[in-house]
Amino acid sequence: MQLSASPYEERLTAPRSWWLLCLLVGVAMALVLVPFGTLPLLGGLVGGTAASAVVASSYGSIRIRVVGDSLIAGEAKIPVSALGEAQVLDQEDARAWRTYKANPRAFMLLRAYIPTALKVEVTDPEDPTPYLYLSTREPERLAAAIKTARAEG
């Protein structure tokens, strides 16, 4: 597998406010355990915070990569030769394509906390997926990486 001259990688990390919410979940757990004493209170604080942080971290650990001749979005791996035109979606267009314009057969890698996205047509006639919807903070850069990988392939 040949590596692309301009590979792309993005991790769709959870927003900073979610980490504050993790601490608040820990505080809530501690408050629930106040009647049982100091040790359970501390256990609730640490355990609640840690458990919610694991959930937030795993939700935000998804990656989008263009490596060689493939687009890897989460667990999906698609050859760039099977991809057509990429359309950069601003906040308004992205909302439309993930709601009322969405096709139920489309591959949707979306994160509500990321306002922009990239819509990439799937040109493989054997693939029933009409397009990929990819939440990304850098849709122009991702589109350019896909175009570069397709030209190199």
What pLDDT digit, counting tens, does each position of 19-44 carry?
Answer: 999 999 999 999 999 999 999 999 99
In this structure, the answer to whether residues 75 and 142 fall within a common structural domain is yes
In this structure, the answer to whether residues 22 and 92 fall within a common structural domain is no
Q: Is 3 inside any structural domain?
A: no
In this structure, the answer to whether residues 48 and 99 fall within a common structural domain is no
**Alpha-helix residue ranges (DSSP H) falling in the chain:** 16-32, 38-59, 91-98, 139-152
Q: Is 1 inside any structural domain?
A: no
In this structure, the answer to whether residues 29 and 73 fall within a common structural domain is no
In this structure, the answer to whether residues 40 and 86 fall within a common structural domain is no
In this structure, the answer to whether residues 73 and 146 fall within a common structural domain is yes
β-strands 83-89, 63-67 pairing: unpaired
What residue numbers bound the domain in which 28 lies? Answer: 9-59
In this structure, the answer to whether residues 46 and 96 fall within a common structural domain is no
**Model pLDDT, residue 61:** 85
**Model pLDDT, residue 2:** 47
Q: Which residues of the chain have pLDDT under 70?
A: 1-6, 153
**Model pLDDT, residue 4:** 41
**Model pLDDT, residue 97:** 95
In this structure, the answer to whether residues 88 and 134 fall within a common structural domain is yes
**Model pLDDT, residue 87:** 95
Residue 78, beta-bridge partner list? 71
| Total number of domains in the chain | 2
**Is 42 in a helix, a strand, or coil?**
helix
DSSP category for residue 15: P
In this structure, the answer to whether residues 43 and 83 fall within a common structural domain is no
What's the pTM value of the predicted model, to 2 decimals? 0.81
Residue position matching structure tokens 């408050």 = 31
**Model pLDDT, residue 6:** 55
